[in-house]
Amino acid sequence: ARIEEGAHAVRLMIIDADGQPILNVDGRMEIRFHQGLGGAVNMIINAHQLEFTSAGEHAIEIAVDGIQLGSSALFVRMREQVTTALAGLDEQGQAPPPGKPDSPDSPHAGPSLN
């Protein structure tokens, strides 16, 4: 038997840009190896209530049996910022007036016909 085989306590955390945990999920997993094959474990996490309240760099951390094994960066952008930028809206979420050509600064502006 390999040392990893057996039951283990697992903790998955999401840490916000200020270093505060916004999600802690504790669980158990059972690792079994089959002859000649490696092992993999799927984790399904109910994060429907997870809410990101700030943009910026967050972290996903995983610990097994109380030992942190890994951390990965998670970059969060707020939906309102992304939606207005993609829709060509201004900072207040307003569309340009109808019939008015896009400003020269607009990323969607076409060539001028003057």
- Pair of tokens at residue 78: 């707020």
Average pLDDT of the segment spanning 10-34: 89
User: How many angstroms separate the CA atoms of 104 and 110, rounded?
Assistant: 8
**What residue spans define the domains of the chain?**
6-76
Low-confidence winner among 6-10, 72-76, 93-97 (lowest mean pLDDT)? 93-97
For 70-91, how does the pLDDT look when each residue is reduced to its tens digit (9 = 90+)? Answer: 999 999 888 765 555 556 666 6
Which pLDDT score is estimated for 17? 86
Q: Identify the H or E element spanning 84.
A: helix 79-87
Q: What is the pTM of this model?
A: 0.59
Is the Cβ–Cβ distance between 62 and 68 less than 8 Å? yes
Sheet arrangement for strand 6-15: 21-31, 6-15, 56-64, 67-76
Looking at 2.60.40, 2.60.120, 3.40.50, 3.30.70, the CATH number of the domain 6-76 comes to 2.60.40
Segment holding 83, helix H or strand E: helix 79-87
Q: Which residue has the tokens 């030992």?
A: 67
Burial 26-39 (b: 16+ CB within 10 A, else e): eeeeeeeeeeeeee
- Which residues face 60 on adjacent strands? 14, 72
